[in-house]
Amino acid sequence: MAAISISNVKKRYGALQALDGVSLTIEQGEFFGLLGPNGAGKTTLISIVAGLNRADSGAVAIHGHDTVTDYRNARRLLGVVPQELVFDPFFTVRETLRMQSGYFGLKKNDDWIDEVMHHLDLTGKAETNTRALSGGMKRRVLVAQALVHKPPVIVLDEPTAGVDVELRQTLWKFISRLNREGHTVVLTTHYLEEAQALCNRIAMLKSGKVVALDSTSALIRRISGSQLVVSLEQGTLPEELKPLVSHPDELVSGHKFTLRITDYREVEPILVRLREAGVVIGDMQLHQADLEDVFIQIMGNEK
Ligand SMILES: Nc1ncnc2c1ncn2[C@@H]1O[C@H](COP(=O)(O)OP(=O)(O)OP(=O)(O)O)[C@@H](O)[C@H]1O
């Protein structure tokens, strides 16, 4: 049975069609990425999956439990880390996590609460009031809150937006461990290198529609080849190399060029040609196509 099945979900805000018939099936045990530019509909979709928002039409089920008609069972299977930092500021971290456990009917949950706090480096803040925490620490509490009932499906909406490298590493280590132990993870992020490193499959959303859905490696293979980036200290780019330039703006500015190549063997003849033309290279880099290139290409093509 699918971890999350989303069937033809539509949502409109006034004149704006925020979700325009989204269908996705996320299997149990996947580490799934939901990517898209600002306003694509990611948070709207996640809030519908979490039962916090109602779709106009279509349906979502978590392990077969409909998020509307069988909300309690669906909610129990789901741990959601929201994008916004919202807390009741009068409680300590431990009290907050105990209350969240109580919400799921878990009374003796302290061992797991301690383990979650340990893995998120929150133990030292257990007795601190949530209002006195820094933004990064608050985000750790949000993650801990989502995990108190050991949900088989974990959904994270931009959990690393604006947080430091240390928290990102701590968080991904813990979430990856939970994924290895069988938890399904769904992630939205604007950090494409993070999605590339973590997600086995990715959906790209634009203007409320799924515009790409494939394994991460298959998406990256769509972009064949690499780029040779050269900065010229002296001289100008020979005419016959101009068709290789990826960004037309570079022909205007005239000193740094991103040249498309399909094979590393093409590098040497390019360098020979530059030398013959009297060019002095100030800086040079080889850039392998990555998820960011795929994202830019797909988002650019899908008007
Ligand atoms: N409650 C609301 N009322 C009206 N419009 C809304 C509401 N919530 C979201 N929208 C609009 O719906 C569209 C989708 O928003 P959503 O927050 O789902 O996008 P997103 O992909 O999560 O974007 P971001 O990357 O910026 O978080 C946006 O144009 C947004 O302005």
User: What is the average per-residue pLDDT within 67-71?
Assistant: 94
Distance 301 CA to ligand 1 centre (A): 22
CATH assignment at residue 50: 3.40.50.300
Are 178 and 41 found together in one domain?
Answer: yes
Q: Identify whether residues 281 and 251 lie together within a single domain.
A: yes
Q: What is the pLDDT of residues 218-270, one digit of tens each?
A: 898 877 678 899 999 999 999 999 999 988 888 888 889 999 888 788 999 99
Residue 142 falls inside a structural domain: no
- Tell me what pLDDT residue 237 has: 95
Q: What is the pTM of this model?
A: 0.84
The residue contributing the CA closest to ligand 1 atom 29 is 39
Of ligand 1's listed atoms, the one at least distance from the Cα of 190 is 25
256 domain-assigned = yes
**ipTM exceeding the 0.85 mark:** yes
C-beta neighbour count of 53 within 10 angstroms: 16
Per-residue confidence (pLDDT) for residue 252, from 0 to 100: 87
167, 196, 221: which is the final residue of a domain?
Answer: 221
Euclidean distance between CA atoms 96 and 141, whole angstroms? 8
Structural domain containing residue 33: 4-77+151-221
Token pair for 249: 């703006």
To test ligand 1's pocket by mutation, which of 10, 12, 16 has the most ligand atoms within 8 angstroms of CB? 16
Same domain, 180 and 274: no
Is the CB of residue 204 less than 8 Å from the CB of residue 295?
yes
Ligand 1 near 78 CB (within 6 A): no
Could you tell me if 285 and 156 lie in one domain? no
CA pair distance 74, 92, nearest whole angstrom: 28
Q: Is the CB of 98 under 6 A from ligand 1?
A: no
Beta strands in the chain (DSSP E): 4-13, 16-26, 31-35, 57-62, 65-66, 78-81, 153-157, 184-188, 201-206, 209-215, 226-234, 256-261, 280-288
The residue count for the chain: 303
Q: What pLDDT score was predicted for residue 282?
A: 94
**Closest residue CA from atom 3 of ligand 1:** 13
Give the count of domains, the chain: 2
Looking at the domain assignment, is residue 143 inside a domain?
no
Which of 182, 204, 221 is where one domain is finished? 221
By three-state DSSP, how is residue 238 classified?
coil
Residue type, 186: V
Shortest-distance atom of ligand 1 to CA 19: 14
Please check whether residue 282 lies inside any domain of the structure. Answer: yes
Asked if residue 42 has its Cβ within 6 Å of ligand 1, the reply is: yes
Residues 157 and 272 in one domain: no
Q: Which of 221, 255, 272 is the last residue of a domain?
A: 221
Distance 45 CA to ligand 1 centre (A): 10
Confirm whether 230 is domain-assigned.
yes
240 and 279: one domain?
yes
The CA 112 to ligand 1 mean position distance, Å, reads 34
- Burial (0-12, 13-18, 19+ Cβ within 10 Å), 61: buried
Is 49 strand, coil or helix? Answer: helix
Mark whether 216 and 232 lie in a shared domain: no
